[in-house]
């Protein structure tokens, strides 16, 4: 059974780059699509993007156009991890960030999810 766990700094300064990693256990990073989703405190869910390992660490990606200019996702097969980088952050990027498996077997859904990690953007 696949399990996911996010890790990374909980505090990032404005204009800097947010970097998070999702460790995948119980399954291979090569055999699925992987996604990032965020949730500002007290608000709803926003899909950030997904990545699929296609033979290189940069993978095959699809990003939310609202964030595309600032987002980079990558895969590290040696560590069975995937990562998120979000550049030029502002207070509006303060959120709980979740990683999730994106199942494309039929109707496509996010399952399972990591427990989430709160990232606060503040000086």
Partner 1 sequence: DIQMTQSPSSLSASVGDRVTITCRASQSIISYLNWYQQKPGKAPKLLIYGASSLQSGVPSRFSGSGSGTDFTLTISSLQPEDFATYYCQQSYSAPFTFGPGTKVDIK
Judged by the rule CB under 8 A, the positions of this chain that interact with partner 1 are 44-47, 62, 64-66, 98, 106-116
Shortest distance, position 13 Cβ to partner 1, whole Å: 26
Contact 87, 81 (CB under 8 A): no
Question: DSSP letter at 105?
Answer: S
Shortest distance, position 108 Cβ to partner 1, whole Å: 4
Nearer to partner 1, 16 or 67 (CB): 67
Nearer to partner 1, 23 or 77 (CB): 23
What is the token pair recorded at 117?
Answer: 């990690």
Shortest distance, position 97 Cβ to partner 1, whole Å: 11
Shortest distance, position 16 Cβ to partner 1, whole Å: 25
10 Å Cβ neighbour count for 84? 24
Nearer to partner 1, 5 or 87 (CB): 5
Contact 89, 14 (CB under 8 A): yes
Nearer to partner 1, 15 or 60 (CB): 60
What is the token pair recorded at 88?
Answer: 């030029």
Give the pairing type, strands 117-121 and 11-12. Answer: parallel
């Amino acid at each position: 059974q696949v399990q996911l766990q996010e890790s990374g700094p909980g505090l990032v300064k404005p204009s800097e780059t947010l970097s998070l990693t999702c460790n995948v256990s119980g399954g291979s990073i090569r055999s699925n699509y992987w996604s990032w989703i965020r949730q500002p405190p007290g608000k709803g869910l926003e899909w950030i993007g997904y990545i699929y390992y296609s033979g290189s660490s940069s993978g095959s990606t699809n990003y939310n156009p609202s964030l595309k200019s600032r987002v980079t996702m990558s895969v590290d097969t040696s560590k069975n991890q995937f990562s998120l980088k979000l550049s030029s952050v502002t207070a509006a990027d303060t959120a709980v960030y979740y990683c999730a498996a994106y199942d494309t077997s039929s109707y496509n859904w996010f399952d399972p999810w990591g427990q989430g990690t709160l990232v606060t953007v503040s000086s």
